[in-house]
A and B are shown apart, each in its own frame.
Chain A
């Protein structure tokens, strides 16, 4: 009994210690964001600010067009997620419930593209978007990201698990393929679609290299790009930098805590990087 209790205690202590290490950077960020300038650059560090300076957030918000960045991030995330859902639903349906010439070859080619690292695509896409005149436009931030082989693959697996009898029954009742897809398959696939949408939204919200390359004006930056630009401008004013970081990180953490069931299940099932 004593040995069991001891090993239990060791487990709890180890896990708690690790958990604290995971959270500490965020706590430190949050605490720093409320400090006065002279409480930041100080050794030994003080943990809690004497007074909570909420105005740091206002000041950071006004130093850079964070409102605009936020608007851009939301627009890009929402539209590319909706776009991906639509293309994915249609394509996954064709791959799972239809028989057509070249289906398996086409599917294999698409899966093959998943092996190619995104960095290979950067330059040709940049040239292409320049030719289209889309550089520094929403089109460049959204349209290339409205289809994903990985999402098609995931949803196809789900659609395959739906019994065929369902579609036969619907067809006998005179339901068209298209109506069957949207009124029966899509509602059935809600959990899978929700996972796909969430993973997409996280990826899109956090995306950095692509928005960095295709935006040139301040007005088109997304939050991560805007934050790096701000970090060069604000330099060592760490309380403002931390306030700005908090503004990006906190919404994601809150969203994650509310929806974690779907996110973690999705990742455990799909085994992918978000």
Chain B
């Protein structure tokens, strides 16, 4: 490659120009601009005039019960989805990693929900969750459970959303876990078997520790993804954040402030709050990912 020269720098920037142009205009500039907008107290979007700057938007968020609700719902969603999804996908990945036939077929099947449109599958689930004619209530009825108003009872809106999201995201986690499992050297298991370790012991003393970087990666990616949930809510509840705002999440809040009320300042401030949460999670990932691999 040689040392950098004026000429090589010029040539390189010609190659970089298209990508840099797009990324600067549509990613880097908006990151900065969004921060500025969050400090506009009074902003006329149509004429692009700022009448007043300040921290009103952040004070508004601090005092807005809806934003608190959105944060709370988002946390409930994350806690409802991530652990359950990880345990299920790990279990399935381990079963898939055993010496079975039809493995490719199973893998294909589990991954299908992940490649399909969130909006379309949410509409399908809307039909499954139907209170009177939904197939889910029919199955539960066979076990003597009274019909549940999945999508219209504020108490059940969040569980419905969580069920849908676990179903949708399982395949992705399984693929990552499978890749992680296949990286574990068979010799460990063989040696443990010879030493007489039971299957359960082999799982807890070989699989769990050696898989910990993968598990950690999957957790962080799932948590970040779950913090950004939106499409499912919009499609599942027909353009509403659930009955009585019971499925109002942070991104839905941003969407409502931005697109519903045209309150760009508050929406940007809320977006930055989301950014900070995700930023902290990413830092934790980088920090732990580098330092703490448990073997």
Contact = CB atoms under 8 A, between A and B. Distances in A.
A76 interface: no
B16 interface: yes
A264 B107 contact: yes
A253 B115 CA distance: 7
A22 B27 contact: no
Interface residues of B, number: 97
B60 interface: no
A252 interface: yes
B66 interface: no
Nearest to B250: A119
A67 interface: no
Contacts, number: 282
Interface string B92-129: 10011010100000111111111111111101111110
Interface residues of chain A: helix, strand, loop or mixed (majority): helix
Contacts of A2: none
B115 A28 contact: no
Contact of B1 (A40, A99, A242): A99
Contacts of B15: 90-91, 93-94, 98
Given A119-B274, A121-B31, A242-B127, A45 B234 contact: no
Interface in A82-99: 86-88, 90-91, 93-95, 97-99
Contacts of B48: 127, 131
A231 B22 contact: no
Interface in B110-160: 110-121, 123-128, 130, 132-133, 135, 138
A128 B118 CA distance: 28
B37 A147 contact: no
A143 B179 CA distance: 34
Contact of A209 (B12, B27, B123, B230): B230
Nearest to A259: B115
Given A42-B133, A121-B34, A248 B26 contact: no
A177 B224 CA distance: 40
Contacts of B9: 100-102
A9 to B, nearest CB: 11
B120 A123 contact: no
Nearest to A250: B116
Interface in B18-50: 18-23, 25-31, 33-34, 37, 45, 48
A92 B11 CA distance: 14
A120 B18 contact: no
Contacts of A128: 25-26, 29-30
B205 interface: no
Interface string B213-244: 00001000100110110110011001100000
Given A42-B133, A86-B18, A120 B37 contact: no
Contacts of B126: 231
Nearest to A102: B9
Given A117-B275, A123-B34, A98 B254 contact: no
Interface string A189-223: 00000000000001001101100110000000001
Given A99-B3, A267-B175, A91 B254 contact: no
Given A116-B27, A116-B31, A90 B138 contact: no
Contact of A241 (B21, B127, B255, B274): B127
A72 interface: no
A102 B179 CA distance: 35
A28 B31 contact: no
B2 interface: yes
A256 interface: yes
A2 to B, nearest CB: 16
20 contacts: A11-B100, A21-B167, A90-B17, A94-B15, A119-B271, A123-B37, A123-B264, A123-B267, A126-B258, A147-B21, A147-B26, A206-B117, A209-B231, A209-B251, A228-B123, A232-B239, A245-B121, A248-B117, A267-B172, A267-B175
Interface of B: 1-4, 8-9, 11-13, 15-23, 25-31, 33-34, 37, 45, 48, 92, 95-96, 98, 100, 106-121, 123-128, 130, 132-133, 135, 138, 167, 170-172, 175-176, 178-179, 217, 221, 224-225, 227-228, 230-231, 234-235, 238-239, 251, 254-255, 258-259, 264, 267-268, 271-272, 274-275, 278-279, 282
Given A22-B110, A94-B12, A113-B27, 11 more contacts: A19-B109, A22-B113, A87-B18, A87-B19, A91-B15, A115-B282, A124-B33, A127-B33, A147-B18, A223-B117, A256-B111
